[in-house]
Amino acid sequence: MTVLTVNLSTQLQTQLSQTGIWAYAVYFSGGVANWTTIADNGTLTGGTGAASITLPYPDNGGKVYFLIQSADTAHYTDLTTAISEESDINWNNAAAKDFRYDSFEVSLLDQPGDAGNLTSVNGFGIPMQASVTYSDGSTTTRGYGVSGSTIFSDIAAINTKAGYVYTYDYTSGPLANTVRAAISPTLAVTPYTTTSGTSFSESDWTSYLTTLVTDNVIPTVKTVGEIGAEAATQTRPDIVVTGFFDGTADASNVWHNAAFFSYVVEWDGSNFWLAPTEQSQVKGYIKISQSDLEESIYSTLGTAEIYNKPTDATPYMTMNTGENNQWGAVFTQFLTGFTGGYYGVKGAQNNSSVAGTIDLDKTWNWDPTYAFGNNLSGSAPTYFDHYSEVFYKHSNSYGSGYSDNLMQHYSTGGPLIPVYDSGTGQNVTNIGLTLYADSETPAGYVDPTIYNYIAPAAGGYEATSQNTLNTNITLNFATQYMVLKADTPITISFMGTNPSGQQAWYSVTIKGNLWQNWTLTYNAATDSYSAAAAPGTEQTYGSMVVSNLPTADSGVSWYKITVGDDISKTYNLYTTTTGSLFQNPAYSGQEGALAIDGLATITPSESSAATINTFTVNFLYSTTTSLDPQLLTENTNATFLSTLATPDAPVVGKGAGANFTALAGQDSATTNTVTATTGALFFAWTGKNNSTVDTSSWISAYTNKIGALDVAKVSFATSGGGTHYQPVTAVADLDGAWQTAKAAALGNGTYTVTMTEYAPDGSTVVGKTSSALALTVSLDKLGLHAGSDGSSLVLDQGSSSTDGNWIHFSSAGITGLHGATLLLYAVDSSGNLIGRDGQVGGGVTIQDATIASIGGVVSDSGDALLDTAQSAYLPVGQQLRFAVLSGGQVIDSSASVNIGEAANGTLNIDVGGVQVTAQVENTLGSAAELAGTQRNLNEALVYLNHGESLQLEVTGSSAMTNQLGFVHMEADPTTGQWSVGGVDYGNTTAFTDAVRSHLVGEVTVSGGGSHFTDTLQWTVQGDTGYYAPVLLTENGDVFVIGSANSDGQEHIRLFGENTFGFEDLTASQNSDFDYNDMVVKVVPSHDLLV
C-alpha cells in the first residue's frame, strides 16, 4: 500500500484560509471519484490542510488532482458534485467554476520501472514538490527551481502580441484578479477548449515545416515510388529517427513486440513519409499530411497511415499518432525533435579543441543541452515549443508529452521520480507532496546534469602513460536486439608524451573479432602502440575490453574513441585520476569524475572505493543508440538468442487465410495437445486461436508474434526426434502476426510441432524456438472409388469426422510413351481446378493444380529401370483427376482413363497407356514424407537436414557419359525467388556458373555409354535446406530444375517420390526428351533400415 502524504507550505495555508476558498484532492478509480477536502470555505482540514491519501493499487499512470477554487459564497459551485469523472477536470470547467488545478501522476505496479511525476502538460496551476524516501534511507525529490509566479510570467511572455493570452485570472472570490492558471499548448489545440484570447495553435509549426522542406533537411521525392530509396543509401543528409520500442500492449490490449527502429523523413509534395532503413526492425512506411503532423506536435491529435509499400493503394492500418505501439514510438522520437527545435540546426562542440559541429538532424546526437536553441553553432531553429522550454529550464515537471524523452539523457534532474524500492522489491509505502503558494520557490528541484565534458586544468589535459595497475575499460556495443557489426574498426586515441618530452596523440585501431580482451602495448622503437587480443578471453557478444590503458598519474585526461571508418562517430572521453587509477563517480563528491559525450554513458565498476581501475562505456543502452544505425546489425548470436523469452506454441487449424479455424482443445497459451482428423493443416500465431477459448488476456502480453516481415518456420518431429517433413513457413505482417498460407500435409502419427523465427532471408535464425505443440493426426480409412464420371477418384466420408485421406500410387507399367508421366490434379465438385495455393477456377492451370506426379522409368529398349511410387492427399469433396505429360511437355487431359477395382480393394488405373495402382494409406513412409517438397512445389527438390544419411540409386540409358550432382538452393520466403550462392535463378551465365561452383562435394556420380546402374551413400555436409539434382553433360551443358537451361526447356522430370529423370540433349541437339539418360532415386536412411 502506498500513501500520498500531502502538505501545504505555510504561505499556502494562509492563502487558503480565506473565506471563499475551497481546495481538494481527487483521484478516480473504477470510474468513481475519491475526494479529499483540503480547505472548506477557508477552513483547513486538521488546521493545516494536510492529508493522507491511500492510492489505488495496481494503477498504471493514475493521477491525483489538486483543485483550488475561489468563489463568492453566494455563487459557489460544489466541485465534489459538479465533477463526477476525470474528464470533468478541464480548462472550460475550471474557467466557469473559477478553480485552478494541477496533478501528480504515478504508476504503482510493484515493477522496477514504476515512477511518479509532476506534470504541466495540461496547463500549470500549482507549484509543488514531490519526495520519496527509500528503505536504505536515501531520498529523491522533484520540484521547481523558480517560483510559481516566475513560471506564470515566463509563460505570459511567450508572445506579447496584442490578443495573445496565456495566463488567466480568477474572476471571483478572494483570489479575484490574481493568476488562476496558464494554458498549455496541449490544451489550447484541443477542440473543446475555449479561451478568450489567442494562444497556441497548430499553425505555429507551419513555417518550421516549410523551412525544413525548402532547405532540403526533409528532401522532396519526385514520385511516391521513390519513397525510402535514400534510406538504403550510405549518404543521408536528411532527418534520421532512431530508437528502441520496448514492447507493450496498446489501448486495445494487444501486445506489440519490442524492436529497434530507424526511419528517414521525406516529402512527396503533399505528404510527409517516414521510411524504414535497412537496419530497422520496425517496418512499414508511415504517411502523414502536413496538417496531421502539425496537429500532432503539441498534442497527438493527428492521424497517420502505415503502408507495406508506399505505392500500395490501401494502407495496412490507420492510427492516431499517439498510439502505444511501435509506430507510435517512432512518432514520439520524431515529434520530440520539433518540440526541442533540433531539426535544421547544428550543435557546438563542448570541447573547443574539437573541430566541426554536431548534426542534430540525427537523433543519436541529441544531447539535451542543445534543446530549445541552446549551445548551437550557427542559426537558431525556426521554432520550438516555448511553453515546454519554460518547464525544461526551471522545473522537474513535464511541460509537454515528450519532456521525459527530451530529458532522458540527463544523469539527474529528469521529470520521473522512482517509486519502486529495490530494497523491498515493492513500491514505496509513502510519497510526499508539498503544495506551495505562487510567490514561493518549491524545495526539491534537482538541477538537470549530464556528464559529457570535463574542462582541463589551467595547464591543459594531463598526458597519460601505461602503468602496472591493469587500468582498463569495457566498451559495450549491444542492447536489446541490436549490436555493432563485428568487423567495425575501433580506434582508441589518447594523449601521451613522445621521446622528445612533448605531448602527442597516440592512436590504436582494433579490427577483427572485436569481442575479446585487447591488450595495449607500447613499442619504444617506433613510439607507437598496438593492440592484441589475449587468447581465451572471449567476451559477451557485443562487448570488448581494452586493457593496459594508459592513464595520467593524477588530473584530467582526454581520450577519443572512434567507431567505424567511412561511416564513423568519435566520442570524447574524459577521466579524472588519482594515483593512476580512475576516480569513482559512484563515490560521494566525485559524480562528474568520468565523462563522455555523444550520448554514450559510463557505468563504473561496483565498488565503494574512491578509485577504480575499470569502468564500462555504453554506446547502446535502454531505448537509445548513440551510433549511426548503418553501423549496427541484428544480434543473432546464439548465446544472446538463448536469453530471449520462449514463444508460445503455434496454433493449428484448418483453412487458409480468413477461413482459418483453430482445432479444438487449444486451451493453453503456452502449449497444447491436439488431435486432428485432417491431413491438411495450417499454423498461426496465438491471436488466431478462435476455437472455444478467449485469448484476449493472452495477446495482451508477449506470445509468439515475431519481427515484422520475419519468417516463422514451423517444423515437425516424431517421437524418434526426426521427420522428413519439410517445414512450412509464413511471412509475418508489419506487426509480427503470422499464418501459414500453404497447408502442411501430414500422415497419421504424433508430431512435436515448434516454430522458430528467421530473418527475411529465411536462413538466419533470429529468435528462440517456441514451446511445443503435441499434435496427433488420426485419419480414418475412407472408401476410395471412381467418381461418377468414371475418370476421377473420390472419397466416401460416410459418418467419419475425417475429411481427407492419403492415396498411395505405385507405377505398374507404361505402354509406348517414353518419358511420359502422369499428373494428378485436383478439382472441386463443379470441376474447377484447385491450385496448390488454394486458388480455385479462373487462371488456375493443370500445372498449378498438380499435387503429385508418377511415371514408369524405362530404358531406350523399353525395359523398366526403376520402380516408382507416389502419395497424394485428397480432401473429401474434391476429385483427383489425371493427365498425361509427354516427353515434349504436352499435357493431355483428355487421355482415356480406365479404373478397375481388384479384390483387395486396390484400384488399377490406366491413363493413356500409363498404368498405376492406387489405395488408401494414411501412414506415410519416409520417402513419402521426403517427397512433400515435390508435392508442394511440383519441382524436383528435396528438403534435407545437415548430417542426414541417404542413398542415391542411379540408373540410366544414354550414349553419353554424364555426371550427376546436387546443389543447395535458397528460396526467398517473401518473393519465392530461388538462388544459388546469392545468384538468382535464371537462364544466365552467372547462375550456371554459380551452380557449377556450388555443387555438393560429397555427391559425384558418372554414368553413360549404355544402360548403367550405381549406388552412392550420401551424408549431407551442407546446411539444412532445399537440394536440387543437377546434370553436367558430356557436351558441357549444365541442366537444372525448371526451364533455366540453355534451350529454355525442362530437362528434369519427376517420375515419383524423390525420383528424378534427366534428358541430356538440348532441343537443337535432336533430343528425344525421354528423360532416362540419368535417373536418380533418393532413398531416406529409414527406408534403408526397413
Boundary-marking domain end, from 777, 804, 835: 777
| CA–CA separation, 103 and 243 (whole Å) | 29
Q: How far is CA 486 from CA 294, 624, 971, in A?
A: 41, 19, 27
| CA proximity to 540, closest of 474, 487, 490 | 474
- Asked if residue 1066 and residue 966 are part of one domain, the reply reads yes
How far apart are alpha carbons 746 and 366 in whole angstroms?
55
- Is residue 654 located within the same domain as residue 619? no
Q: Give the integer Cα–Cα distance in Å for 974 and 977.
A: 8
Q: What is the reported pLDDT for 990?
A: 97
Domain count, the chain: 6
pLDDT above 90 coverage of the chain, percent: 88
Q: Are residues 149 and 285 in the same domain?
A: no
- Residue 444: inside a domain: no
* pLDDT tens-digit series, residues 213-239: 999 999 999 888 888 876 655 555 689
Give the chain's mean pLDDT.
Answer: 94
Q: What CATH number is given to the structural domain containing 109?
A: 2.60.110
List the 728-731 sheet strands across, edge first: 673-676, 773-777, 749-758, 711-717, 728-731
Give yes or no: residues 255 and 333 share one domain.
Answer: yes
Question: Are 1004 and 1054 within one domain?
Answer: yes
**pLDDT at res. 1088:** 54
Q: Within a domain: residue 122? A: yes
Closest residue by Cα to residue 4 from 443, 427, 446, 445:
427
Instruction: Mark whether 28 and 150 lie in a shared domain.
Output: yes
Helix (H, G, I), strand (E, B) or coil at 116: strand
User: Distance between CA 691 and CA 663 in Å, rounded?
Assistant: 6
For the record, the C-alpha cell of 1029 comes out as 539434382
Instruction: Assess if residue 386 is contained within a domain.
Output: no
Examine residue 365 and state whether it is found in any structural domain, yes or no.
Answer: no
Q: Residue 62: its pLDDT value, please?
A: 94
Q: Is residue 814's pLDDT more than 90?
A: no
pLDDT tens for 196-206 read 778 999 999 99
| Greatest Cα pair distance in the chain | 118
- The string of pLDDT tens digits covering residues 816-867 is 677 789 999 999 999 999 999 889 988 999 999 999 999 988 887 777 788 8
CB atoms within 10 A of CB 403: 27
Cell representation of residue 477? 556495443
350 part of a folded domain: no
Question: Which of the listed residues 637, 672, 698 is the one where a domain comes to its end?
Answer: 637
Q: How far apart are CA 416 and CA 340, in angstroms?
A: 18
Whether 73 has a pLDDT exceeding 90, the answer reads no
Question: Residue 335: CB partners within 8 Å, gap ≥ 6?
Answer: 296, 297, 300, 321, 402
Shared domain for 684 and 598, answered yes or no, is no
What CATH number corresponds to the domain at position 1010? Answer: 2.60.120.400
Tens digit of pLDDT for each residue in 356-390?
A: 999 999 999 999 999 999 999 999 999 999 999 99
Q: Which cell numbers in the block locate residue 420?
A: 519502486
* CB 853, CB 870: distance < 8 Å: yes
> Cell for 937?
512445389
Strand, coil or helix: 674: strand
Q: What gap in Å lies between CA 357 and CA 873, rounded to an integer? A: 68
Domain that holds residue 631: 472-637
Of the three residues 296, 316, 339, the one that is the final residue of a domain is: 339
Question: What does pTM read for this prediction?
Answer: 0.94
**CA-based R_g, the chain, Å:** 37
| pLDDT value at residue 193 | 84
Using CA atoms, how far apart are residues 473 and 602, in angstroms rounded to an integer?
Answer: 10
Q: Are 550 and 468 in contact (CB under 8 A)?
A: no
Compare 938 and 598 and report the one with higher pLDDT.
598
CB 1059 within 8 A of CB 934: no
Q: Are residues 150 and 68 in the same domain?
A: yes
pLDDT at residue 858, rounded to an integer: 82
Cis peptide upstream of residue 58 (ω within 30 degrees of 0): yes
E strands of 354-444, at which residues?
A: 358-359, 416-418, 420-421, 426-427, 430-435
Coil, strand or helix: which one is 294?
helix
Task: Give the range among 160-169, 315-324, 755-764 with minimum mean pLDDT.
Answer: 160-169
Are residues 918 and 955 both part of a single domain?
A: no
Q: Could you give the CA distance from residue 565 to residue 546 in angstroms, rounded to a whole number?
A: 19
Q: List Cα–Cα distances, 169 to 128, 156, 1009, in angstroms.
A: 20, 12, 106
| Joined grid coordinates for residue 849 | 493444380
Q: Are 652 and 683 in contact (CB under 8 A)?
A: yes
SS3 758: strand
What pLDDT is stored for residue 694 in this prediction? 87
CA atoms within 13 A on the CB side of 580: 12
Cα–Cα distance for residue pair 783/798, rounded to 1 Å: 8
CA dist 233 → 224, 565, 605, 902 (Å):
17, 16, 40, 68
Q: Are 1029 and 1050 in contact (CB under 8 A)?
A: no
624/691: higher pLDDT: 624
Mean pLDDT value across residues 753-769: 96
**Does residue 356 fall inside a structural domain?**
no
| 943 shares a domain with 1085 | yes
Specify the CATH number for the domain of residue 762.
2.60.40
- Residue 98's alpha-carbon distances to 150, 169, 478, 705, 1027, in angstroms, are 22, 9, 54, 51, 79
User: Does residue 250 sit within a domain?
Assistant: yes
Strand runs labelled E in 981-1043 = 983-984, 1005-1008, 1011-1019, 1025-1032, 1038-1039
Judge whether 453 lies within some domain.
no
Within a 13 Å sphere around the CA of 900, how many CA atoms are in the beta-carbon half?
7
Q: What is the pLDDT of residue 1089?
A: 47
What average pLDDT does range 414-426 have in this prediction?
95
Percentage of residues in the chain with pLDDT exceeding 70? 98
Give first-to-last CA distance, the chain, whole Å: 68
Give the residue carrying C-alpha cell 500465431.
Answer: 685
Q: CA-to-CA distance for 214 and 344, rounded, in angstroms?
A: 11
Sign of CA dihedral 953, 956, 960, 964: negative
| Statement to judge: residues 839 and 733 lie in one domain | no
pLDDT at 1090: 46
- Residue 339 carries which side chain, given as an amino acid letter? T
Lowest model confidence (mean pLDDT) among 385-394, 586-595, 783-792, 1004-1013: 1004-1013
1031 in the same domain as 952: yes
Residue 311 CB-half CA count within 13 A = 5
408, 414 contact by CB (below 8 A): yes
Q: Are 77 and 66 in contact (CB under 8 A)?
A: no
* Rounded (10°) angle between helices 290-297 and 206-214: 130
User: At 990, is the secondary structure helix, strand, or coil?
Assistant: helix
